[in-house]
Structure 1
Amino acid sequence: MSVNSVNSATPSTNEYYLTRQSQMESNVRSYPRKLPLAIAQAQGCWVTDVEGTKYLDCLAGAGTLALGHNHPAVIQSIHDTLTSGVPLHTLDLTTPLKDAFTEALLAELPGGKEAYCLQFCGPSGADATEAAIKLAKTYTGRGSVISFSGGYHGMTHGSLSMTGNLGAKNAVQNLMPGVQFLPYPHEYRCPLGLGGEAGVDALTYYFEQFIEDVESGVTKPAAVILEAIQGEGGVVVAPTKWLRKIREVTEKHGILLVLDEVQAGFSRSGKMFAFEHADIEPDVIVMSKAVGGSLPLAVLGIKRKFDAWQPGTHTGTFRGNQMAMGTGLASLNVIKEQNLAKNAQERGDYLQAELKKLAQELPCIGNVRGRGLMLGVEIVDERKPADHMGSFPADSALAAAIQTACFNNQLLLEKGGRHGTVIRLLCPLIITQEECVEVIARFKKAVQEALVSVRGA
C-alpha cells in the first residue's frame, strides 16, 4: 500500500489507529500512552494528526529533528540520494556522499580531522555507547567504567548498565559488571545535601579524591562516561569547574573520557556540542539523533591516538546508511549556514526567562534550567515543607497532569528526571520567536488547568 493510498484511507480518527496499534504492537510502546495521536503530516515545528488537529512540537523526535519536520534541505537530500544511483546500504564501503559527510562532520570536532577519526556504528546511540566502552577497554586493557547518577546512555545490555534510572534495570538481572556510579551535580537537588557552589566544589573535590585515593576500593577504570547536559535525567547541566576537573583527572591517569552528545549535540545547547561550554576535548564523542538529519545514524568521534581497533572488531550491518549521511550532511550545512546555534541560544534564553517569570506566578514550578533549546521545568508540591536547601518535594502526579494538559492544548512535550517530574522542552532549532511565544502561552494555560484538575485550585 502506498503512502498516498494510506492517506486516502477511510479511517480518520486517532482512536482507530491507537486501538489497532495496541492490538498489533508490544506493551513496550510508550509515547502513544502519553501523547495519544496518530500523525498524518508534519512540517517545521508543527504536527497534524489524522483528525486535522495541529500541534506545536517541542519533543522533535526526542531531539532528533534538529531542523524540525520535513525541512526542505532534508527532503531535497533524500530526493538527490534516491536519484543519484548510490547504493542505500554499503556496510562500511565508502561513497562520494559518505566522504563528503565524513569531512563535514570531522570539521565540527575540536581539532578537526587532524585530531579525530570517525567510527560509524549501528544506527542507535546505544550501539555507539557500547562501541565507545568496548574501545576504552580495548585501549586500556582495563575492565571497569565510571558513570553518573541520572545519566542515560541507552537501553541495550551494556548501555543500560551505565544508565542511572532504575525503572528499566530492576527487571533485568546480571547487567554488565564493573560499572561504578558517582553523584552528578544538581542545582536543585544536590546529592550531597549542600546546594549551590558548595555542592559543586565538594563533588569536584570528591571525584579527584575518588580516582587518586589508594584506599578508595575501586580500581582504575577504562573510561568515564557522562553527558555534559543530562537529558532523560531531567535536563541537568554539568558545572564548568566540575567538568574541567574530570577532564584534568582522566587525562592525568590515562582514563578515556567519553562524552555522550546524543541528545545535547548539534547546536541544541547553543554550541555545536555541549562539552564546548566547558572548553574541553573528550577522548571519544558519542553522536546519534540529530547527526543523521532525522534518519537513523550513530557515529563516534575518536581521538586518533585511542583508535585501538583491529579491522572488524566492532561492526554493524546498518553502519553504511547512505541516505542518513546525505540528510546528515544537509542538516550540518543548514545548521552552519543559518547559524542555528545562535538561534537556539537566543530562543532558549527567551523561553527560560519566560518560564522563570511563570515560576514566580505558579510556585509549583520549582526550578527552570538548561541551555539553549534543551530546557527542563521541575514540578514540585510547594504546599509541603521545603528541605534544608529550600527545595520542595517532587509532584509527579501534577507533572503527569501538566503533560496531559499540554497535549490537550496542542503542545507536545515529554517528561523526565527523577519520578518523571521534569517537563522537558526539546524544540527544533528552527523555532521562531512567534512560536516560542505560543509555547509559553500554551504551557501556562496547561499548568493552570492541571492545577485545577489535580489540586482543585
Structure 2
Amino acid sequence: MMTDKVRIDNFGANSSGNNEAFLARQAEYESNVRSYPRKLPFAIAKAQGVWITDVENNQYLDCLAGAGTLALGHNHPDMLQSIQNVITSGLPLHTLDLTTPLKDEFSAYLLSLLPGQGKEYCLQFTGPSGADAVEAALKLAKKYTGRTGVISFSGGYHGMTHGALAVTGNLSPKEAVNGMMPEVQFMPYPHLYRCPLGIGGKAGEQALAYYFENLINDVESGVRKPAAVILEAVQGEGGVNPAPVEWLQRIRKVTQEHGILLILDEVQAGFARTGKFFAFEHAGIEPDIIVMSKAVGGGLPLAVLGIKKQFDAWAPGHHTGTFRGNQLAMATGLTTLRHLKDNNIADKVAEQGEWLKAKLAEMQKRYPVIGHVRGLGLMLGIEIVKPNEPQDHMGCYPADGELSALLQKKCFEAGLILERGGRHGCVLRLLPSLLISNEELAIFLDKFEVALVAAGVKPVSAE
C-alpha cells in the first residue's frame, strides 16, 4: 500500500495514496500561507462538472468552484476542446500584448458584453489575477484625475497585493503590513441584515446614500476629492452583501457629478453569477472601469479591465505584465462567454437562485441558527447566528463564527464543499458552477441539513 510516495500517471490524474499523506507533504513543501487545505483537508484526484473526487475515491459536491472561477464547472468538454484547439493550432501560448486571431476574437466578444455592446469601452489586459487588474485600475484613475485618494467600502475585498489590500476591508492581513497605500477612505457598505448605521431597512439604505453624498460635498469633511471609488455590486468575501439598487445608483450619480472614476470590481460577481451578466446591471448603471477576472478566463489565469475610452490615459508601456497574453485563457474564456450567452445561463441562474433562497428560507424556520439568507443568483450567503441569545435593536441575533466553522467541517464530511466569509467567518457561501442542475441543488440542500444535524443543531420541531 503506497502512503509515503506519490505515483504520477498523466500529471497525477491517477495518483494513489491517502489524503493525510498528501497534506503532510504539502505542509512540508509549501508556506504557512496556504489556507484552503486547512478547511478542506483533501487531495483532489479528478473532477467533473460539480463533482470532485479525492485520492481516496470520496466524492464531493463542489459549491466553491474555484471561488467562482469555474463558471462551467470542472473539465467541461467544450473547455477541454478549446485547449486542444490552441495546442494543435500552432499559436504561441504566450504573446505579451501582441495580438493573435484568437485574442482579436476574444476581445471583440468580451467588448460586446459590456454596456452599450462595449462601443464606449476599450480593454486592458493586465497580469493574470484580479488583484493585478485592481492595481491597474487604481493607477489609471490616479493618472487620469491627477488626484491620489480612493474611497472603498467596509467589507469589500479587492485582493492581497499592496494597493488592492489597502482598499480591502478585512483587517487581519493588514496587521503586519505597515505603510499601506495612503489616502484610502473607507465608507460603510449597506448590509441587508446588519445595517452599519443601526437603522436597517430602506431608511438605512437612504441614510448611507446621503452619508456618501455629504462626504463628497462637505468642504469640512476632511476627505479630499478622490480619484476613484471602488466597490463590488455584490460583496463576496465580505459576506455576500448585494448593493441596494437605489444606493448604487446614487453612488454612480455623485461620482459622475464630481468627476470621480467609479471602479466596479466584478471579479467574483461577474459573468452571469448573479443572474445578470454583470452584477452592476441590476442597478442599470455604467461603471467607468470594470475589473474582470476569474470566470473571464474560463478557469485559467486572465484579468482584464473594461475602460471607458475617455479615461484611457495610459501612455504606451506605463502598465505592463508578462502574462497578459495568455492564449489558452483567452480560448477557454471565449468558450465560457459564448456558452453563458448562447444558452441564456444568466436567466437560468436567476431562477435557480430564487428557488434556492426560498428552500433555505423554509429550512431557516426549522433551524433558527440560519439567521439570514441573502444574495443573487448562484452567489448566496447563509449567515449563522446564536438564536438563544438576545437580539439587538434591529432584531438580529449575534453572529456565530464558531458554529459556521463547524458547519463547514460537517459539510465537508458529508461530501459538500462550501466557503465561509463575512465578519467573524459567520457566513457560509455558495459559489457553484453556473451549470449546476436543480437535482444537484437538491443534493446540496440534503447534505447541508445532514451537516446541521451532525453539528448538533436540533430542528425547532424536535425541541
Give the whole-Å Cα distance in 2 for the aligned partners of 1:161 and 1:139: 20
Give the whole-Å Cα distance in 2 for the aligned partners of 1:136 and 1:452: 49
- 1:423 deviates by 0.2
Contact 2:73 2:434 in 1 (8 A): yes
Match of 2:313 in 1: 308
Contact 2:367 2:457 in 1 (8 A): no
Instruction: Identify the match of residue 29 of structure 1 among 11, 24, 34.
Output: 34
Describe how 1:322-341 pairs up with structure 2 within 5 A. Answer: 322-341=327-346
Describe how 1:229-308 pairs up with structure 2 within 5 A. Answer: 229-308=234-313
**1:292 partner letter:** G
SS at match of 2:42: coil
Give the whole-Å Cα distance in 2 for the aligned partners of 1:112 and 1:309: 23
Describe how 1:32-111 pairs up with structure 2 within 5 A. Answer: 32-111=37-116
Describe how 1:413-424 pairs up with structure 2 within 5 A. Answer: 413-424=418-429
CA 1:8 to 1:417, structure 2 compared with 1: closer, same or farther past 3 Å? closer
Contact 1:151 1:233 in 2 (8 A): yes
Match of 1:136 in 2: 141
Match of 1:197 in 2: 202
Match of 2:4 in 1: none
Match of 2:378 in 1: 373
**2:10 partner letter:** N
Contact 1:398 1:451 in 2 (8 A): no
1:126 paired to 2:131 = yes
- 1:112 deviates by 2.5
Contact 1:376 1:424 in 2 (8 A): yes
| TM-score normalised by L of structure 1 | 0.98
Give the whole-Å Cα distance in 1 for the aligned partners of 2:456 and 2:378: 26
- 1:6 deviates by 3.1
Which structure 2 residue ranges, 5 or more long, are not aligned? Answer: 1-6
CA 1:202 to 1:410, structure 2 compared with 1: closer, same or farther past 3 Å? same
**2:102 partner letter:** L
Instruction: Identify the match of residue 361 of structure 1 among 360, 366, 371.
Output: 366
Match of 1:406 in 2: 411
Give the whole-Å Cα distance in 1 for the aligned partners of 2:66 and 2:326: 19
Size of the aligned set, in residue pairs, is 453
Instruction: Identify the match of residue 227 of structure 2 among 186, 205, 222.
Output: 222
Contact 1:399 1:421 in 2 (8 A): yes
Match of 1:145 in 2: 150
CA 1:8 to 1:111, structure 2 compared with 1: closer, same or farther past 3 Å? closer
Instruction: Identify the match of residue 317 of structure 1 among 316, 322, 344.
Output: 322
1:318-368 residue CA offsets vs partner (Å, 9 max, x unmatched): 000000000000001110111111121111111111111111110000000
**1:40 partner letter:** A
Which structure 1 residue ranges, 5 or more long, are not aligned? Answer: none
Match of 2:12 in 1: 6
**1:296 partner letter:** P
Give the whole-Å Cα distance in 1 for the aligned partners of 2:299 and 2:292: 13
Query: Which stretch of structure 1 is more off in the superposition, 439-448 or 264-273?
Result: 439-448
Contact 1:347 1:431 in 2 (8 A): no
Question: RMSD of the alignment, in Å?
Answer: 1.2
